[in-house]
Chains A and B, each alone.
Chain A
Amino acid sequence: MAGPKIATLRDFGNPNGSMRRWQIDWSTRERLVPFFFLAPSFLALALVSLYPMAHAFFISFHADGVGAVGRFVGFEQYQRILSSDYFPRVLRISVLWTVGNVIFVWAVGLATALMLDRNFPGRPLVRAMFILPWAMPYVAAGLIWGWMFDYEFGVLNYLIQNAGLSASKLNFLLACPDALTSLTAVSVWKLFPLGTVMFLAGLQTIPVDHYEAARVDGAGPIQCFWYVTLPGLRNVTIMLTLLITIWTFGRAFTIIFLLTEGGPAGCTETIVIRSYLEAFKFFHLGTASAIGVIVLLIALAFSVAYLAYAYRKEVGNA
């Protein structure tokens, strides 16, 4: 005697079965799998990044208010910021800071990469030493540099005076534009290992026979560098420039905040520092959010350029 029929997976495929609508064919399933893998990361990002961004965007269209979002003011916050006395100044400082970082990270990174690309005893150890600044936490680095720059007791002024390089003490952080120069130096010190690593990787992709051919044609070291090395590092240079631009413009905060907080007389106050001050010192959440959106839009332009370049390169390689 036959017992009750037990449903099997096969039955779900039955055109008359109630589970038919849940069936997903193999190719659709294959297309959906990546989205399932991406979902946890997307959810996490949405929660900690996209939602705050969207909320900041929302607040930027409202008046400044403590304790509650102010009244809707449309683009008034943006108009006020763009026509304010401080905006051209903080934008100019942000651009100077970014350009300084890009140029010097590129130059120092390339110089150290060229040096470390050669064979010499203890090369792995020296390479590791050059990575150390990159590994050091920003806050620790900022505090140490703060003491090194100290006017009264700093080691830099002590060494400079003892070496007879200057009769008077240098105002590393006490004068304009010296303070911005000093801060840029610290930031470059912190970031150049990234350039070094990227250029080292780039140097190893340049075929040796290109150098040999250049030498056969009578090229010296400078011509080799100019006509072989630099063109060979073109892709790395573009990638590094875009990356450093995005990072230094959008994150021009930690080192500056630790060492000068935007002073003296506002000459190291970047747009990001201003956004922080508006939010947490002046209680202007609407203004701070609008500045944040402006920073986001500027950084986004560079990010789009970076992604477009990366995509084009990938398509080119394929």
Chain B
Amino acid sequence: MKTVLRRLAVAATFLSSVALSVPAGAADITWPSHQWGEANNAPIMLELKKLFEQENPGNTVQNITVPQAVFFDKQFADISAGNPADVATMYDADIRAYIEANLLEPLDAYYAAAGIAIDKLIPTRTLAQKDGKIYGVPFQINARALFVNEKLLNEAGLEPPKSFEEFQAAIRKMRRPDKLQFGYATVSKPGNTAVAYIEMMPIVAGFGGGFFKDGKPNATAPETVAALRFIKSLHEEQLIPRGMEVNAYRQLFVEGKVGMYATGAFFAASVANGNKDTFAHLNAIPLPFPSGKTTAITVFLGVPKAAKNKDLAARLLMRMLKDDIQARIVTVGKTVPGRVGLIPASFAADNKWFKAFEEAALSAASYAPHGAEQYGAEIAKIVVEHVEGMLYSGVSVDETADRLQKALTTFIASKRKA
């Protein structure tokens, strides 16, 4: 018995000495994200983790890689179960839904303490604001511009298009069925409504349209109908690769089989890693659609109210907004960061394609339905189902717009009633 007691005493002494050696208030900040596994984002996030841990001894950041396919489902399940991680990653519609459900911690005090002016953040920051408070940090904005492969354009005897008419002509001229070559690529596979909606929105906004305006359905607006007509023509004339996943036709661009593709600046890193020849001929221009408008997806980071280490997590997010990390988001991640005006001059000089994205970020509207952002996923499903009916079941453009308008009106009325 004495031996057992002696051993217990030794163990207790050891454990208490270990506990005392850890600084008071030390914590593990949990940060699960699909972005830890992304070649362009992981180096920046690891650098932030390292700097934060050096500057806050005893505290650690747990980088938990979760595959993108399941990340948002898992995050929602964790938050719903009242057991969220310390840092949440959200896109436009997600952050609105979480703010409306009162699940995020306001960060105004942390912005003030870090000396970061909220009005110097990118314009889509407004998605993270409600009633004068801000609930998130914009990590990066992927405003849409048009990537062009100048080699394919030159082979077709063309210059980067400056108007919608030139753009249409270039799409047709670069289409070479014998070489499995396409002038343009956009959504072409049914099913994944979120991806389809995101891919479609730059075109719809580019025509000056939108499925929602000030919280009201807008599917029958002439601009929206014109955009739908253009999308249908791309399919019917087989001008774009059909039935392909987004990653598959992005790979076609990387392989030099697609001449033009509208997406965010992040895609340049994929081109650089995937095909040096295509990257050498890579350029980007503002979207050549009639209105000159574009859309963006913003990646927001926030701190859930039920998180265990809210204070530390908020300080970690503020650390991300410091100049050094903002510059790395540009140079390594090849995306526009949350704070405006921090693009290193040397990077801009070496990457002429980046200018189109930098400018787009200052004017782009969110891809989420205007005034009904929190219902983004449901609206995307309604819209995409109708557009798929138009593309794959022969429903006319005007009929699609009418049906869509009715469906969206019914939907938003049901939400208001609820």
Asked if B80 CB lies within 8 Å of chain A CBs, one says yes
Q: Which residues of chain A are near B158, meaning CB under 8 Å?
A: none
Q: Which residues of chain B are near A262, meaning CB under 8 Å?
A: 191
Q: How far is the CA of A267 from the CA of B191 in the complex (A)?
A: 10
In the complex the two chains form, is B191's CB within 8 Å of A280's CB?
Answer: no
In the complex the two chains form, is B242's CB within 8 Å of A260's CB?
Answer: no
Asked if B45 CB lies within 8 Å of chain A CBs, one says no
Q: How far is the CA of A268 from the CA of B388 in the complex (A)?
A: 12
Q: Mark A138-175, 1 if CB is under 8 A from B, else 0.
A: 00000000100111111000000000000000011111
- The 8 Å CB contact of B194, one of A68, A146, A281, is A281
Q: Mark A245-268, 1 if CB is under 8 A from B, else 0.
A: 000000000000001111111110
Q: How far is the CA of A150 from the CA of B249 in the complex (A)?
A: 12
In the complex the two chains form, is B241's CB within 8 Å of A67's CB?
Answer: no
In the complex the two chains form, is B393's CB within 8 Å of A281's CB?
Answer: no
Q: How far is the CA of A278 from the CA of B73 in the complex (A)?
A: 11
In the complex the two chains form, is B191's CB within 8 Å of A261's CB?
Answer: yes
In the complex the two chains form, is A265's CB within 8 Å of B191's CB?
Answer: no
In the complex the two chains form, is B80's CB within 8 Å of A263's CB?
Answer: no
Q: How large, as a class, is the contact surface on chain A?
A: 20 to 34
Asked if A179 CB lies within 8 Å of chain B CBs, one says yes
In the complex the two chains form, is A67's CB within 8 Å of B79's CB?
Answer: yes
Min CB distance B50 to A, Å, is 32
Q: Mark B96-117, 1 if CB is under 8 A from A, else 0.
A: 0110011100000000000000
Asked if B377 CB lies within 8 Å of chain A CBs, one says yes
Q: How large, as a class, is the contact surface on chain B?
A: 35 or more
In the complex the two chains form, is A265's CB within 8 Å of B386's CB?
Answer: yes
Given known contacts A174-B392, A175-B392, A262-B191, A282 and B180 CB-to-CB distance under 8 angstroms: no
Asked if A74 CB lies within 8 Å of chain B CBs, one says no
Q: Which residues of chain A are near B242, meaning CB under 8 Å?
A: 151-152, 174
Q: Which residues of chain A are near B77, meaning CB under 8 Å?
A: 280
Given known contacts A67-B82, A283-B97, A264 and B103 CB-to-CB distance under 8 angstroms: no
In the complex the two chains form, is A264's CB within 8 Å of B82's CB?
Answer: no
Asked if B378 CB lies within 8 Å of chain A CBs, one says yes
Which B residues between 362 and 418 are near A, CB-CB below 8 angstroms?
Answer: 377-378, 381, 384-386, 388-389, 391-393
In the complex the two chains form, is B393's CB within 8 Å of A264's CB?
Answer: yes
Q: How far is the CA of A68 from the CA of B72 in the complex (A)?
A: 17
- The 8 Å CB contact of B388, one of A68, A151, A259, A265, is A265
In the complex the two chains form, is B385's CB within 8 Å of A66's CB?
Answer: no
Q: Mark B159-194, 1 if CB is under 8 A from A, else 0.
A: 000000000000000000000100000000111111
Q: Which residues of chain B are near A280, meaning CB under 8 Å?
A: 72-73, 76-77
Q: Which residues of chain B are near A283, meaning CB under 8 Å?
A: 76, 80, 97, 101, 377
Q: How far is the CA of A264 from the CA of B102 in the complex (A)?
A: 35
Asked if B318 CB lies within 8 Å of chain A CBs, one says no
In the complex the two chains form, is A66's CB within 8 Å of B98's CB?
Answer: yes
In the complex the two chains form, is B101's CB within 8 Å of A66's CB?
Answer: yes
Q: Which residues of chain B are near A146, meaning CB under 8 Å?
A: 245
Given known contacts A152-B241, A281-B381, A264 and B97 CB-to-CB distance under 8 angstroms: no
Q: How far is the CA of A154 from the CA of B190 in the complex (A)?
A: 16
Q: Which residues of chain A are near B79, meaning CB under 8 Å?
A: 66-67
Asked if B244 CB lies within 8 Å of chain A CBs, one says yes
Q: Which residues of chain A are near B377, meaning CB under 8 Å?
A: 281-283
- The 8 Å CB contact of B103, one of A67, A171, A175, is A67
Q: Mark B273-308, 1 if CB is under 8 A from A, else 0.
A: 000000000000000000000000000000000100
Min CB distance A1 to B, Å, is 31
Q: How far is the CA of A254 from the CA of B378 in the complex (A)?
A: 22
Q: Which residue in chain A gives the minimum CB-CB distance to B79?
A: A67
Min CB distance A236 to B, Å, is 36
Min CB distance B194 to A, Å, is 7
Asked if B57 CB lies within 8 Å of chain A CBs, one says no
Asked if B215 CB lies within 8 Å of chain A CBs, one says no
Q: How far is the CA of A172 from the CA of B101 in the complex (A)?
A: 41
In the complex the two chains form, is A277's CB within 8 Å of B381's CB?
Answer: yes
Q: Which residues of chain B are near A263, meaning CB under 8 Å?
A: 190-193, 384-385, 388
In the complex the two chains form, is A150's CB within 8 Å of B243's CB?
Answer: yes
Q: How far is the CA of A31 from the CA of B205 in the complex (A)?
A: 73
In the complex the two chains form, is A264's CB within 8 Å of B388's CB?
Answer: yes
Q: How far is the CA of A285 from the CA of B389 in the complex (A)?
A: 28
Min CB distance A299 to B, Å, is 23
Min CB distance A268 to B, Å, is 8
Q: How far is the CA of A179 from the CA of B391 in the complex (A)?
A: 14
Min CB distance B244 to A, Å, is 6
Q: Can you name 10 extra interface pairs (CB under 8 A) apart from A266-B385, A281-B377?
A: A66-B97, A66-B101, A67-B82, A67-B103, A151-B243, A151-B244, A174-B392, A175-B393, A281-B194, A285-B80
* A-B contact list, 13 entries, CB within 8 Å: A67-B80, A152-B242, A152-B243, A153-B180, A154-B243, A174-B190, A260-B191, A263-B191, A263-B192, A264-B191, A264-B391, A281-B193, A285-B80
Minimum-distance CB pairs A-B, first 8:
A263-B190, A264-B190, A151-B243, A261-B191, A263-B191, A66-B101, A265-B389, A265-B388
Chain B contacts to A: CB under 8 angstroms = 72-73, 76-77, 79-80, 82, 97-98, 101-103, 180, 189-194, 241-245, 248, 306, 377-378, 381, 384-386, 388-389, 391-393
